[in-house]
């Protein structure tokens, strides 16, 4: 089985993330979405909320599994018995940062490769940070995130 892991914070998941997830799911037999529990950051949504939302918005993609993890992505990838880390790229600045991480991961675990998928142009500008900020100012974010995310954001910001 060809299995890949798409790790990230997904706080919240956007249409850009879903673009990468769908495309990765068409390439691999199984894609594990790894929702990072990072004790160094204070996310808007708890890891449990992010996992729940991701499961809801990916129910139509049968070969996607959603799990949470802590620590290094390469350790999670190994624990998932996967061979590839999926990373989405929006711009050159993403590439530089992601390349450094991919090179570090390759040194740590040479058997794991990183595959970069360039986000569709429709979503090249989009980030979770932007969606959170817009929602905090009570802007309509339905063009940027699925209905389940919009609903959860509205609840968080009491809209």
Active-site residue set: 17, 41, 90, 128
- Integer CA distances (angstroms), 118 to 20, 49, 96, in order: 8, 27, 13
Direct distance between the N- and C-terminal alpha carbons of the chain, in angstroms, rounded to an integer: 44
DSSP 8-class letter at 53: H
- Token readout for 137 is 């100012």
Which three-class secondary structure state does DSSP give residue 13? coil
Nearest CA to 58 out of 96, 76, 81, 31 is that of: 31
């Amino acid at each position: 089985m060809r299995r890949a892991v798409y790790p990230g914070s997904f706080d919240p998941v956007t249409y850009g993330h879903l673009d990468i997830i769908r495309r990765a799911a068409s390439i691999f037999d199984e894609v594990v979405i790894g929702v990072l529990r990072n004790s160094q950051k204070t996310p808007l949504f708890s890891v449990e909320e992010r996992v729940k939302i991701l499961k809801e918005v990916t129910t139509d993609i049968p070969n996607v599994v959603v799990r949470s993890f802590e620590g290094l992505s390469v350790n999670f990838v190994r624990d998932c018995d996967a061979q590839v880390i999926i990373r989405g790229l929006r711009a050159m600045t993403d590439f530089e940062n992601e390349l450094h991480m991919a090179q570090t991961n390759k040194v740590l675990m040479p058997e794991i490769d990183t595959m970069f998928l360039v986000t569709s142009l429709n979503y090249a500008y989009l980030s979770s940070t932007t969606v959170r900020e817009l929602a905090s100012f009570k802007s309509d974010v339905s063009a940027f995130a699925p209905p389940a995310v919009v609903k959860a954001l509205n609840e968080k910001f009491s809209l």
